[in-house]
């Protein structure tokens, strides 16, 4: 695997002829933050660039205050020419991207902090100690002496604040706080970002949370908290996948819970599929090892996968796998 440093990329970026900026499907704050920050930087540097996020589901509404989201292409993987460098961020597995056409591209630069990143890039900058991928991007910009304005800083900060759970998760390092301090000094409005992200909850999201809590069950003597939502629940709440964010954290917080599992049904032309999020509260159960069995991925404490079958059989399978690891 060929690796590069922050400095390598910081010096390389201004020299690029054409770049394609992308992150994983169902983008979270870190993925959106990375894409917007690099897009704004590319614009500032006068680089030929495009930005892309896989899928058609609307971006989470809480990030809608970020500038120029309309410039991010959506849908199927766009045409990439051999002179184009791909910057793929916050994406552990190439399989989570529709990147079967990567071969026809120029360099594929894989920038990520997931510990299970496959190193699928032709160049890889992987730092599992980084709290967010925007932290790596921040270090790249600084190493290349590339000026970070308020808008770029705000996009970087969003990745940091969401991936650290507002500076509460175990990945909240002194470095993460130092980055936040630097960004605040660059003009990032910390309280303004907080209001945008956390004080504008859409009603369908609250309704969906209410149903998920109603359907909560504790198993394995209270060590496993499980909830599930069917397609009908989403319809009744007027909600979609975006509105599930944060539900797993409510399950994880319950006293005595060591593993939380949240299952939701997705119906397509191919039938029903269950999308599963897993969390380990203390890291004693490696939930990534469970997700890997079903072709998913993630970290020791946070992982996810998709499975065929009905909700109950998927939950029964999760229960068996968690029990074997307690």
Residues found near Mn ion in the complex (CB under 5 A): 30, 90, 133, 163
Q: Based on CB atoms, which residue is closest to Mn ion, 128 or 295?
A: 128
In the complex, least distance from residue 290 CB atom to Mn ion, rounded to whole angstroms: 20
CA quadruple 130, 133, 135, 136: dihedral, nearest 10: 80
The rounded distance, in Å, linking the Cα atoms of 125 and 111 is 5
In the complex, least distance from residue 232 CB atom to Mn ion, rounded to whole angstroms: 31
| Residue 276, strand partner residues | 263, 305
DSSP 125: E
179: Cα separation from own chain's centroid: 19
DSSP 67: T
In the complex, least distance from residue 238 CB atom to Mn ion, rounded to whole angstroms: 29
Q: Based on CB atoms, which residue is closest to Mn ion, 133 or 154?
A: 133
In the complex, least distance from residue 130 CB atom to Mn ion, rounded to whole angstroms: 9
The rounded distance, in Å, linking the Cα atoms of 183 and 200 is 23
Residue nearest Mn ion, Cβ-based: 30
In the complex, least distance from residue 32 CB atom to Mn ion, rounded to whole angstroms: 10
Q: Based on CB atoms, which residue is closest to Mn ion, 124 or 274?
A: 124
| Collapsed DSSP state (helix, strand, coil) of residue 148 | coil
In the complex, least distance from residue 304 CB atom to Mn ion, rounded to whole angstroms: 13
The rounded distance, in Å, linking the Cα atoms of 245 and 232 is 18
Alpha helices in the chain (DSSP H): 6-12, 29-44, 133-143, 150-163, 174-185, 190-198, 203-214, 231-237, 247-252, 287-293, 311-323
Q: Based on CB atoms, which residue is closest to Mn ion, 32 or 80?
A: 32
Inter-CA distances, 32 with 60, 134, 156, 198, Å: 9, 10, 9, 16
Quick check: 51 and 80 in contact, CB under 8 A? no
In the complex, least distance from residue 52 CB atom to Mn ion, rounded to whole angstroms: 17
Q: Based on CB atoms, which residue is closest to Mn ion, 106 or 159?
A: 159
Q: Based on CB atoms, which residue is closest to Mn ion, 30 or 245?
A: 30
- Among 131, 119, 173, 106, residue whose Cα is nearest residue 4: 119
The rounded distance, in Å, linking the Cα atoms of 248 and 244 is 8
């Amino acid at each position: 695997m060929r690796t590069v440093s922050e400095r390598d990329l910081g010096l390389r970026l201004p020299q690029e002829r054409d770049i394609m900026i992308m992150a994983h499907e169902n983008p979270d704050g870190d993925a959106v933050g990375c894409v917007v920050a690099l897009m704004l930087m590319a614009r500032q540097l006068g680089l030929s660039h495009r930005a892309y996020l896989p899928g058609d589901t609307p971006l989470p509404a809480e990030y809608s205050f970020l500038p120029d989201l309309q410039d991010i292409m959506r849908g199927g993987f766009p045409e990439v020419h051999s002179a184009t460098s791909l910057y793929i961020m916050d994406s552990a597995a190439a399989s989570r991207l529709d990147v079967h056409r990567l071969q026809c591209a120029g360099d594929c630069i894989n920038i990520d902090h997931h510990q299970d990143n496959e190193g699928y890039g032709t160049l890889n900058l992987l730092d599992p100690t980084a709290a967010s991928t925007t932290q790596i991007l921040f270090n790249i910009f600084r190493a290349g002496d590339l000026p970070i304005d308020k808008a770029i800083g705000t996009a970087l900060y969003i990745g940091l604040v969401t991936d650290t759970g507002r500076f509460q998760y175990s990945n909240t390092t002194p470095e993460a706080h130092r980055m936040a301090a630097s960004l605040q000094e660059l003009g990032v409005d910390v309280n303004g970002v907080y209001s945008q992200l956390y004080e504008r909850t859409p009603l369908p999201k609250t309704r969906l949370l209410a149903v998920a809590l109603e359907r909560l069950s504790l198993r394995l003597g209270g060590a496993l908290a499980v909830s599930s939502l069917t397609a009908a629940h989403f319809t009744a709440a007027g909600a979609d996948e975006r509105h599930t964010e944060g539900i797993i954290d409510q399950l994880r917080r319950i006293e005595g819970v060591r593993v939380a599992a949240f299952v939701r049904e997705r119906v397509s032309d191919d039938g029903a599929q269950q999308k599963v999020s897993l969390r380990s509260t203390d890291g004693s159960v490696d939930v990534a090892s469970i997700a890997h069995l079903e072709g998913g991925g993630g970290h020791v404490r946070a992982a996810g996968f998709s499975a065929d079958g009905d909700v109950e059989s998927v939950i029964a399978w999760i229960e068996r796998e968690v029990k074997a690891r307690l």
